[in-house]
Structure 1
Amino acid sequence: MRPRRTDPGRRDRIIDVALELIAEVGVAGVSHRRIAERADVPLGSMTYHFAGMDEVLREAFTRFADRVAASFEAHLSAAADGEQAVTAVVDLIHELSDRAGGRDQVLTYELYTLAARDPRYRAITTAWMARSRHELERHFDPTVTRQLDALIEGLALHRALDDDPFDRTLTEQAVRKVVGPVPTPRPGGGRR
């Protein structure tokens, strides 16, 4: 009898491959067979690990949203003051639009398309936006935070899809228009 092959990372690999395929061919082009083939797993692994394609997609998009939210956290938690927070937002916009040749933007809009029609996917986008706004609120008031959250997505989309993407100067100008005057820290702490 042949020893049973162990593959403890199989489920994670399937989710990662699902994201790769969604970025390449869109949700409509993804199937159990394509994922299994690309992940180098038996087709039966798909039904062993997931109740159906909907579960694969929800888990894949949840992983994606968690990764992008973690990027917000990394950028914004490192900012010590308002000026650094503005720089962090500009960096974040450029990272999101440049990452993997715009791959994240494709994934974002594939998720948004599903979320527009299905509350289960909207729950993913709602949780993602809440996490992003929470990180922005470390430095900005709630009204500015909502505006910045939308600006980040819009500018990242335009940079990712434009054949001649704009530079950091335009991005910073847009962020500063939303943020307004950045309070300067006082010696000994606090803002003025």
Structure 2
Amino acid sequence: MPRITLILKKDGNIDTQYLARQVMEVVRDECGSVIAYSRSTLLWFSNTYTEDIHEFLHRKLSEAGIRHSIVSIVNPKPLIAGLTAWHMIKKGAVFYYDNSPEDEYTVIYMPIYTRIKTGLEELSSPMDAVCIAETISFHVKQIVFRSGGLYYDLAGDLISIVPKDSLDSIKTLVGENIPLSVGTGLKFCEALQRALKNL
């Protein structure tokens, strides 16, 4: 079961990108496992980072005067882990670390924008390509979300973190026209790098 850590900033004066950089520096993030997911929320794919490291991050952010909550949950469905963390924070949790055993991340890379742009470059305008890519991306995001996965954009392409047992159904629903590559690994960076290399 992969670990999803939600970091919610409670201070509107702190920029989320600034907070993401602070977290990446403290945890020595190598590949972008800390994602600014919304204006107030960071997602951290934190498998293999111990409770001590999570507590160290919590202490460092507090010492920097950043009001926040950190909740780390392990669940086979990354979406459920994120929602559970969110509900715990909304009920008042300031720090929580789930000690359940961790399992590999399953990461899918889908170069939607790159593929559409390349395929339509000579046939249509850049505006058409963006519109088509956005439409396809919206459809694919719904598939990932319904499977219990999470996703984020990478320069118009899509990175998805999905339940291992839903991989075949996602491939079927997405279809053959959207290339995808899969990477797995206990560390998020390993899984992401494998997904990016496998295409």
| TM-score normalised per structure 1 | 0.29
Q: Which has the higher contact order (CA 8 A, sep 6+)?
A: 2
**Greater Cα radius of gyration, structure 1 or 2:** 1
Structure with the larger strand share: 2
Structure with the larger helix share: 1
